[in-house]
Each structure stands twice: as structure tokens, then as C-alpha cells.
Chains A and B, each alone.
Chain A
Amino acid sequence: MRYLPHSNAERAEMLAVIGTPSEDALFNAVPRRAFKTAPLKLPAHSPEFTVEARMVELAQKNRAAGDGPFFLGAGAYRHHVPASVDHLIQRSEWLTAYTPYQPEVSQGTLQMLFEFQTQVAHLFGMEVANASMYDGSTATAEAVLMAKRLTKRNRIVLSSGLHPHYRDVVRTYVGDTDDLVIVPHSLAGTMPLTIDEHTAAIVVQTPDFYGSLRNIEEYADIAHDAGALLIVVVTEVVSLGLIEAPGPLGADIVVAEGQSIGNSLNFGGPYVGLMATRKEFVRQMPGRLCGETVDSDGNRGFVLTLSTREQHIRREKATSNICTNSGLCALAFTIHMSLLGEAGLVKLARLNHARALALASALESIPGVELLNKTFFNEMTIRLPVAAAPVVDTLARKNILAGVPVSRLEPDDPTVHDLIVLAATELTTDAHIAALVQGLKEVLG
């Protein structure tokens, strides 16, 4: 057992010091009927090469995104992650450290979090950001609860175009009540919002689930006129290289999925939730915050701060039960964002938009396919003359991953059964697009 350092002789020596006959005797507080003396029905320990062979076998049953044409987005995006990002995050000092509760020996993590918070705040044009959340969807649910605390109002309006999974997570968090107003999906992009003096916040996503850009200023005006807050959700943060930040447009809380920067697709996790807000709201913000201070020699240093909001201090009075954040994914985000810098992020965003323009015009050339977006960044929705899911499945058998059929997320909405959401990134080649077009033409006949 390669991970266990003791020899049997050492175990015996230690037991003698303790004055106990056996390791099992140390479990004497366990009721005998619950103590297992025989091993459970599980495989026995294995050499590294055997384990590796099994895991490779499982991995090879999956079609990796990089193995051919791939157009999925819908909240998770395939971008190139520079090699140095993955090298750095595997350094022991980053990988195997705990939460920086002992700041004297955790300045690396703390300073990184301070840089992360600064990057996130700048990206969104907001005053403060926290040290990350689990992912974009849970960050959205936490933002909703935060808005309820801040306004002491209960009603939440989820605008159409919010990622259906995000909507579902919010519903799980706040419960299925009349105070959760879900604006039905509408491709016309109208926003018939019923908002009143009971409304705590409007939640709007841009680019929205269907890829269209939303007019944040309009939503901000509607929210603020009623004394409510505006929560802006971003699932593709690369878009912010080209699109105006939500902060200057009037957002009160911005939450996002940060996976696009530094993190792989990972079948859905781990990802990194981003959250930023106005300075005046910081004491109602959930999650860890890192702040600057000095040590007793007067040197600059960083600590976790404002922890009187948090569960380990406030217990049942905490702003959230959140404890763990997404430290290592936040590190990957920060390193990748440092490599990009402003110049790199803008270039990356332009490249994504250019690939999406190429994809859009190719799709528009296919008879029977209708592109529904007036605006988009790197993601768009098409309508097929037939149900979308079987088409996507057929194309998958041809090794073309054509996008996400909306019915997969909205099985009960008959108006979306013929829609596919597709994304293009810097990794989408002309050959991929040609293969998709060819495949769609064949399937649609």
C-alpha cells in the first residue's frame, strides 16, 4: 500500500507506546455490531499501472471534444488553456495547501486571491469581487438570496434567456413559490417584466442562453425605478473582451461562470463561480474575501477578512453556509488572465467573434436552417425544419458534436424542440465548420 508509510513493526511500536494491543482496539467506542472486522466487498489494492489502465479504459469510452468537430457551449466552453497554466497549478505549494486560515504561511494563496478579486472586479467594471464561488449557477442562486437580504423584499424576476439550469438551481434554492417569477422564453427578445415594490431583483443573462446580447441598461432602469436590484449573469466571460462590462451599465451584482478562462470542460466541474458587487453591499456578499493589510513589521500582506459574514464565525447567522470555494480553479483563471492581459483578452474575444461570424454565415447557407440571432458573441441558435435532438444524435454518430438541442434542457417546452444552440471558439476551424455544414445538409436531406 504505497500511500501508507508504516511498517508492521512500526505499528507495533506505536501501539506499545499507546498501550493498546491492536489498531482495532482503538475503535472500542464503536458498537460491536457496527464494527467490520472483515473487509467490505470491494476490490483489493492495485498497482499504479493497473489503476491507470482501468481509468484509461473508461476515458477512452468518451468522445473528447478535441477529437473532431465540436460546437457545444450553453454554459461551458472549450477554449485553449496555455500549458503553463496547468503546470503552475500542479505545483505542490498551490495544489496541496489548505484554505489560507494561517496567513503568515499562506501569502501565496492570499496574494493570488487578491489578484483574482481585482481581475474579476475589473472585468465586470464593479467595485468588489469575492474569492470565488462553486460555479456560475450556484453563484446566481447566492446572488438572488443576497438581493433578498439587501432589499428585504422577496420577489425575484428571472428574465427569459437565463440558462435553464441556472433557473432550475435558483428554484431549488429559493423554493417553488409565487415570489419566483419566471419570464417565459421568447425569441422575440421582448421583456414583459412585471415588477413592483415587492421585487428584490431582476436577473438577466448576457449573452443569453440563446447567444443574443441583452440591453443591460434597459433592465437596470426597470429594476432601479422600482427600487429593485439588477443581477447580471455571464456564462461566457471571454465575451467581456468585446462587450461592455455590466458595471458601467448599471448592474448591482454580477455573477459569472469563469470556466472559460484557465479551466477545462471537465464534464461540468470543477468550475469557478465569479461574483462582484458594489462596495456598499459587500457585507451581504457570501463567500470568502481577501483583503490587504500589514504585518507587525509593517510589510504588506493579505488576510481573509470580513469573516463575520461567514459560517465558521456566525454559524446560524451567516450570510451563507458556503465554506469551500474554488481556489485552484480561481488560480487557473488568474494565471490564464495574467497571460492574456487586456491585449490578449481583447484579441481572444475578437477571434471568437470572428469564428462565430464564420459559423453563422455557413449555417445560414444551409437550406431549411434559420439563424435566430440578431446579435451574438460566439454562440447562436438555429431553427431546423425538424426536431433537433435526433439530428444532433445522428451527427454524433458521424463524429460531429453539433451543439446542444434546447429540448435537452427544456423538454416540456414544445416551442424549442427544433432549436440547437451552437458555439464557436478560437479552437473552431474552417474544416470543423465545413464538416458540420456537410453533415447537416446530409441529415436534413
Chain B
Amino acid sequence: MAELATAGGNLDTEVMTINIGPHHPATHGVLRLVVDLEGEIVRDLRPVIGYVHTGIEKSCEDKSYWKVIPFVERMDYVSYFFQMEAFCGAVERLVGLEIPPRAKYLRMIFLELNRIHSHLVWLGTTALDLGAVSMLWYCFRERDRILDLFEMATGQRMHTRYFQVGGVIEDIPRGFEAKLRQFVADMPVRVGQYQDLLDRNEVFLSRTKNTGIVSRERLLELGVTGPLLRAAGEPWDLRKAFDYLAYPEMDFKVPVGTVGDNYDRYRVRVAEMIESVRIIEQALDGLPEGPFIADDRKYVLPPRSELSTSMESLIHHFKLVTEGYRVEAGEVYYAIESPRGELGCFVLADGSAKPARVHIRDASFVNLQAFKDMSVDSYVADMICSLGMLDPILGGVDR
């Protein structure tokens, strides 16, 4: 990149501003880029966002706590389990609700499945941008198996509303474990196949190696987290740093890169898929027996079977479904490691049954600020590669 910083001086070129997007397949969503080009070299760049802003945070203020869950899921539409966990976890900390061990493990299984799913979508679409068309089909084949698992356990392929304040809505069905074990056994083989297809692919290597480098100090200044930061050699993972769910009991590694170029970003994410598989395996082996949701009738719906026999359960059910539960005034910021980095949820409670403020600190939104540093003084083709490797989900950016 250094030689490009001064290149073009002896050519008769002038800076030209062009517009990419908002509807452009390489922007992975509705992102508009205003790019200053000198010949083929990017000299300046400005992302313009907000095209899919739907005011979710405002809508959440008009819904009782349990009705907010489907709203937050639809922000970052590729990692919906993570949004649910961030919001439910924040509310659980607000009301001081401890979730049972089985719920922790079930949540972890679904979070890690979702992480693999998210990375598969990223790998397929980014490789497609770089000309490896077949990758899309292979990645989406495995992604579909994950969606089948989601459908089996929750009834929905996307936006499952599976996590509840206090645990999960249902236990996993019979046959789910066998199917998941089959997937867990297959996935490392599949990941190996992806690596065989890409790791020695001359086109892929020359497009990704030594492109889009940003130093780790700069990334930290810009607040970048997740695989992008780890690719630059910083072993920072909230699953290791903070104690949430049952991650401290799991044995997994945090893959890091060395150079921080697009190739390292690819390697880190692919290695993360293997680590997620390991976590799922351990969580399945150690899945504790017991309830899957907390037994606090003030916040958790009573079991369906009790409604026809217990007057008290019926009253609890009625109260929870109509008004919802009130949360004592207070505020909580709860952050988890999403596939894109730190996903934080800030919830402000004012004592009523509706949150006074729900804010999601979306990793894509913050990471997007590093895009200029990744792309300036590089070829426009490398910019497209860097954008894919940045992996922004515009639903999460715009909320």
C-alpha cells in the first residue's frame, strides 16, 4: 500500500468522485460509498448509512419487556440469537434473575451455531465477491443444515424468539441431539474443504494477502472488536474476558492473526468456526439435566399444563401476557461477543412495564469506521475485498 500512496503522480489523472451503492451487490446490503478515485486508487471514502433505519430502538420503548425480544432480533438479521442474548441478559441483570444451568448450555449451543451460520454467510458472499462462486453454494449448504436445526428446536429458521428472560422457551426436542451431533461431526470436514478450495487458490491469495492492513493500535482507537481485531494480533474475546453463560467452563482457543490483512481476517473466522464446533460438542456432552427456564412466576410464564388446574398460574399468565412485568428503575450495559465483535445492550428501566431506553451497541456500526483506514491508498478492487472482510450487516448498522 505504501507505494500506492504516491503513485499516479506522473500520470495525467484527476480525482474523480464516484458513488457505489446503495444498491450494489458488493456492498452486502444497503450501504452507499462515496469514493474519491485517482485512477484506480482510492484517495478518500465516506460511507453513507441509514437506508434501512427502521427506528427499532424507539419502537422498543413502546413494548413491554418480553415483546421487545422479536424487535431486537431483527436488527442484525444474521446473528439474531446474539441480539436476543444481549437483551435478555441485560434484563436478567436488571431484575436479578439467575438462569438455570441447562438454559445456559442451551443458549451457548444456539449462540455458537449462530456464529457458525453467520461466518458461513460471510464466507460464501465474500468469496463470491472475489470470484470463488462455488463457495457460496458450499457454505449455504451447511448454513441450511443449521437453519434446519433452528427450525427443529424453535419452529423458525430465522428470528426464532427462542431465548426468554429467564432461560429458553422450550427444551430441545427428541432427535435434536442426534442431528446436532451429526452436524458437529461433519462440520470440521466441511471447513477443511473450504480451506482446500481457498488456501491455495492463487486468485484468492493475491486478492487478500497484504491488502486492507490496519495496525492494531489504530483498530483499538477506532473501537473495532471481534475477528477484525483478533486478525491484527490482539487476543481479545469477551467470551474469555467476562464471565457470562457457561463459557468459563468451556475449553476453546481464541484464534489470532499476525499481519492484520484480509487473509488473516479470513483465517481467523474460519478457525473460529472450528472453535465454535468444539464448544457445541462440549456443551452437548456436559448438558445438565433440569429446568430450561427459571421458576420465577413474576417474570416467567407458567407451564401450559398448569393453566387448566391452577388459578394462581392462570393469574400469573394473565398478568404477564397483558401488562408484562415491571422492572425497578435502573440501568444496565451488558456486552457479549457476537460474530462481529462486542455487542452491547443498554437497557434503562424506569419502573414501568416498558423499557425507557433500549440501545444496541452494534459491532458492525462501530467497525465500519475502520473501513476508510482499510481502503485509502489501495486499489478500488481491494476496497471491495476489504468491505467483504469487514463483514458489516447493514440491518445492524442502521437499526
Whether chain B is bound by chain A comes out as no
